[in-house]
Structure formats: C-alpha cells, structure tokens
Structure 1
Amino acid sequence: MDYFRIGMIGLDTSHVVAFTKLLNDSNNQHHVPGGKVIVAFPGGSDDMELSFSRVDGFTNELRDNYEVEIVDSPEEVAEKCDAIFLESVDGRIHLQQFKRIVSYKKPVFIDKPFTTSLKEAKEMLRLAKEFDTPLMSCSAVRFAVGLSSALEKFEGKNIIGMDCYGPLQIETNHGLFWYGIHTAEMLYRAFGKGCKKVTVTKNEDHDIILGEWKDGRIGTLRGNRKGNKYFGSIIHSDDQTEFVDASSGEKPFYAALLEEIIHFLNTGKPAIDIEETVEITRFLEAANESRSSGKTVLL
C-alpha cells in the first residue's frame, strides 16, 4: 500500500483542514507522507455554535481545494477508506459516532477530547476491544517537538514534578475538556498513569489544576484567559529542572502528531496507551467537578 486512504468524520474543526494540507499536499514544507484524505462526512452539533457555525466552511474547503469526496454518513466514510479520523469538535458525540464505525475494524484516531466522561471512555474502549479495532486519541501538544526534546534529557532520571501552562478557554458543554486537554496531555506524557486526586482553584481569568499521583508526585496545570496563547512547562527531576517551550522547534504540532498517527496506522499500535487516554478523561472530568464544587475530587 502506497498510502492509507483516510476518511474524516466531523468537519467542524480547523484540524481537518490543517491535517489535510499536511497529508495531501506533497509540496507543503512539513508534508507528512503515508496517508491521504479522500472522503469525509461533515456532521456537526446543532446545539454548539463552535460546531454548526464552522462546518460548512471547512466542508467546502476540503471538497473544493483538496477534492475530498463528501458523503452522507459515517458508515459511508468507513466503507470507502482504510483508516478513520473522528474529528468532531464536540466530544459529547464521539461515542455515538464511534458506535457507527467500530464494526468496520478500520484503525481510528479520535481527536481531542476522546470523550467527556469516564463512563463513555470505558464504553469506547470496550467496543474497540470487542471488534478488535485499533484506537488512538490524544492532543497534538503531546508530541510537540520542544516537549519531546526536553524529555529526552530526562531519560533514565526520576521525574518528580511538572508545572504546565497554556491558554484555557472554557466552552460551556466541555468545561476543562475544551483546552485543558492540551496541558493535561503534556503532564501525562511525562508522568504516565496514576493520579489519585485533583484540586482546582479558579477565578475569572485563571485556573490552577493540581494533580497528586499515588507515588507522591505533584503536577500542576496553569490556564489563562488573558490572551497568552503559548504552551510550555517546567519539568523537575531529583537533580535537574528544565524549561520547555512547547512551541519551539521547526516542526508544527500537527505534523508531529500526524507522524505518530501514520506510524499507528502502519503498526496498529498507538503511541499512547489507550488506558492512559481513559485516565486523562477521568482526570479532566474530576477537574470539572472540582472546579464546580471547590473541593478536592478523587479519581
């Protein structure tokens, strides 16, 4: 196979255009070979303005600029492709859309957020196992070149803490799932699974999310709504502290992520343990609960 024929479900996010540019345009400076978007289902959520207000524009761009075939259902996408990108910006509908395509047994990448509750995350994992469908989900920031380079310096060392930061817009239906997923992915890439409790402090402009791991490590996520759009972190080991500019490096977030996805399509093995994705879902769900109650929430 020269390349994977990729189908997209949900054309209500800028990611669909960004990914298609990088995959389909071999002249792009950051072209990622190995896959081509050939078919897509627009979808969209009627009760979410950031979905329904954008779906037509992105659909037209994929059809008119990249000759992507637009079809009427997720099932048609699954029938016509080798691999599926479930891109719907509304994480609340990922489970119902996944149910419609999982039986086709095509590898599926689900864009962030995986879903918006632990219950749904567990059901998606169960379905993937039942139908032996390869599954991967994460934020593009997880594979930022700056973060990858920094973590290489900590190989063989004991990471004892991490403080992450980034923009944190709040969307009514998602809360911290909307942008908190990005800094949470950075933290989990360094720490792995094992968070036991989460506490959130907030005001109009800022949130601090503090996660305590079972082994005593503490990680923090600082989110702002003041206009600072930069992602980064500070990583601490027993004998070293390293600043991470997640935006550094010549390769953009999306290209680094797509390289990992193409590897996943070739091997069937995701770059992130899906059980970790499930825990991240619970981490953010618990953070939303803490944000509302002002209390520490156990995972």
Structure 2
Amino acid sequence: METMIKIGMIGLDTSHVIAFTKLLNERQVLGGEIIAAFPGGSKNMEFSSLRVEGFTKEIREQGIKIVQSLEDVAEVCDAILLESVDGRVHLEQFSKIAAFRKPTFIDKPFATTSEDAREIFRLSEQFGTPVMSCSALRYSEGLTDALNHDGAVYGVDCFGPLAMEPTHGLFWYGIHTVEMLYRMLGPGCEKVTVTKNDNHDLIVGEWKDGRIGSVRGNRKGNSSFGALIHREKGTQYVDINADKKPYYASLLEEIIQFFKTGKSPINDWETLEITRFLEAANESRETGLMVRL
C-alpha cells in the first residue's frame, strides 16, 4: 500500500484550501492527506481578512487540526501547501518554515517582487527545502493535450478574467494567464508592453527569439480562460472550461509528485522570470511604456 503523505496547510484565506482538502481527503486525488492547518491571514488586505474566519471554520469542520503557528504545521507534516492569498507575505512565512526542510508548494502569486522571489529561492537552496509554485491553469487538461500536438509554437494569445486587487496589481489575476503563456512559450521574454482601459488589459511580451505572446484580460464578466496556439501549419484553440478534469486536480497530481521526489517540474529561473514579467507589466501598465525584463 502506498504511503500517504501528511500535508499541512498555511493560510486559510483562499478558496483553494477548501478545494484542495476536498480533492485530497476524499481521495479524488491520491497520495496525500491534509492533517493540519494554520489560519494566518493579512489584516491589511480585505480579501484575506474577511474570509479567513469562514474558511478556517470549514476546514475545522472537515476534521483538520487547526494549530497555532506556521512552525506547528511544519513539525507535524511531511509536506506543506503555503496557500496564503497575499503574495506579499510568502517570503516572511517561508523564512519561518524553510529550516524544517519540508517540500513546500507556494500558491500563486509566488511573490510580488523579484527581490522576494530571489530570496525565497536563496532560502530554499540554503536549507535544502524544495519549492514549487504555479497557477492551477498551467496544468489544465486542455493545455496539456494541446502541447502534445506536433509543430513548433511561434506565438500564443491567452485570455481570461482580470480582476484587480490594489495591493497586487496584475499579480492578482494576471498570474493565471501568464502561467498559461509560459507553459507554452517557456522563458526568454525580454520586454513587455501593456495597454489598458477600465474594461480590459492587453499584455504583450516579446521573446528573444522573435516569438510574441499576449494576454488579454477582461473585467466585463467573462470568466472563461483559453488560448490560441499558433504553429506554422495552423492555429489551435484551447478552451479551459471544456476540461473534463478540474484543473485543481491536475495541479494536485503534479504537487503530489513533487512532494514525493522533492523536484519541481518547473525550473526556478522560469518562476523568477514569471515574477519579473508581472512586475514589468505592472510598471508598463502605469507608465504606458515598454519595460525590459
């Protein structure tokens, strides 16, 4: 019988904690079980402070032990889901658990500055604590299937909802479509330009090899995610909403494998570049100018 990985959660201020607990503890995704959680929460961010109590109550009702500190979580588990919805606190939180050397998945956004992102990876290397981070959209079933098709990808246009949060800017929801973009194009972007109005943002990235990738985000109520993948012999449409498997389940399968091996499927430098891409996009969004990564 396969050994069950004991998983702890940090940050009960996102709906992800409810979805992940259900998928794992009801054995819809095999290999791990949530056993303990620390609520956390950011008092200076309403999206966190107004939700942490309710989600903590739900997690407790599912039989998960609620503990008093991040360190308490790290002591009793084999691996950690760092779920805090506020990306600004991820460095501080990881710095308190890195020495426990438990494989840690840091939910999106990994960090909200390149400086924080680099420091997280420095701590990861210092203590030998494996780290993985991404949006669930990266591993959506439709996107994975599309990438199995033949032909080099020379351009990608992604789209999705783009709600804004004052403390995060494009890191808040832009991370989803940017993760999709990088899943298909990989790292190597050198400059970013953003055009915006009240209803839309258009983010255009130019890669060093001449490829161009774009993200169209809307605030008009359309919640669908998708992409157009351009190859020499045609363009392929990916509708994320058509996936039979929930993308949270696809992500958790990757996370469980990461917990088992201690090796992230995503290179650190790609996660660093994604952080810098969004940082540059936030700058371009304010200035209207092209920004180099």
Instruction: Quickly name the TM-score band, shorter chain normalised.
Output: over 0.9
Structure 1 window deviating more from structure 2 (271-280 vs 108-117): it is 271-280
Per the alignment, residue 130 of structure 1 pairs with 126
1:37 to 34, 39, 58: 34
1:81-96 maps to which residues of 2 (within 5 A)?
81-96=77-92
Deviations for 1:62-85, whole angstroms, at most 9, x for unmatched residues? 111x21111111001000100000
Q: What CA distance in whole angstroms lies between the structure 1 residues aligned with 2:264 and 2:244? A: 24
2:47 to 41, 47, 50: 50
Matched residue SS, 2:175: helix
TM-score when normalising by structure 1 = 0.96
1:230 aligns with 2:231: no
Per the alignment, residue 203 of structure 2 pairs with 209
1:1-299 maps to which residues of 2 (within 5 A)?
2-26=3-27, 31-64=28-61, 66-154=62-150, 157-299=151-293
Contiguous gaps of at least 5 residues in structure 1? none
Q: What CA distance in whole angstroms lies between the structure 1 residues aligned with 2:201 and 2:101? A: 40
Which residue type is aligned with residue 108 of structure 2? K
Alignment RMSD (CA, Å): 0.8
State the 1:246 CA deviation.
1.4
Matched residue SS, 2:283: helix
| Number of aligned residue pairs | 292
Matched residue SS, 1:138: coil
State the 1:240 CA deviation.
2.1
State the 1:267 CA deviation.
1.2
Moved over 4 A (4+): none
State the 1:180 CA deviation.
0.3
Which residue type is aligned with residue 20 of structure 1? T
1:137–1:274: 8 Å Cα contact kept in structure 2? no
TM-score when normalising by structure 2 = 0.98
Which residue type is aligned with residue 23 of structure 2? L
Contiguous gaps of at least 5 residues in structure 2? none
Which residue type is aligned with residue 53 of structure 1? L
1:144–1:247: 8 Å Cα contact kept in structure 2? no
Q: What CA distance in whole angstroms lies between the structure 1 residues aligned with 2:231 and 2:122? A: 36
Q: What CA distance in whole angstroms lies between the structure 1 residues aligned with 2:93 and 2:207? A: 33
State the 1:2 CA deviation.
1.7
State the 1:248 CA deviation.
1.7
Q: What CA distance in whole angstroms lies between the structure 1 residues aligned with 2:267 and 2:183? A: 10
Matched residue SS, 2:241: coil
Q: What CA distance in whole angstroms lies between the structure 2 residues aligned with 1:234 and 1:122? A: 32
Which residue type is aligned with residue 297 of structure 1? V
Q: What CA distance in whole angstroms lies between the structure 1 residues aligned with 2:87 and 2:21? A: 21
Matched residue SS, 1:183: helix
Which residue type is aligned with residue 196 of structure 1? E
Q: What CA distance in whole angstroms lies between the structure 2 residues aligned with 1:71 and 1:267? A: 27
Identity over aligned residues, as a percent? 61
Deviations for 1:176-226, whole angstroms, at most 9, x for unmatched residues? 000000000011001111000000000000000000001110000000000
